[in-house]
Amino acid sequence: MKKRIADLPDFDMAQQLKSEEDIAAYITMVIEDGDAAELAHALGVAAKARGMSEVAKSTGITREALYKALKPNAKPRFDTINKVCAALGVRLVAQPAHSQ
């Protein structure tokens, strides 16, 4: 029996992000890909996993502004990224590009 694609359940990445470790691994993977627009989207997915209202409250940014800043292809300011990361319980860190 064949299944149609339309019959498959929708995949929601936010449902997979259950801990700060999951969120950190997901965001790290996106950063390693080097796509700034995808980073904004990934932060939005992580914020959805945590609860957009809770993240908005923690950052001091309205929920509507947060949705706008974290939509696909958005270009949020660095301070917005930092606030969202802090609200998610993760932080961005720099590592040497080449190990010795």
47: domain CATH number?
1.10.260.40
Q: Is residue 7 part of a domain?
A: no
- The predicted-structure confidence for 38-91, as pLDDT tens digits, reads as follows 899 999 999 999 999 999 999 999 999 999 999 888 899 999 999 999 999 998
| Angle, CA of 64, 55 and 33, to the nearest 5° | 90
Q: Is residue 18 part of a domain?
A: no
pTM: 0.81
The DSSP secondary-structure symbol of 5 reads: G
Q: Is residue 48 part of a domain?
A: yes
Structure tokens at 24: 């950190």
Q: Is residue 55 part of a domain?
A: yes
Structural domain harbouring 77: 33-91
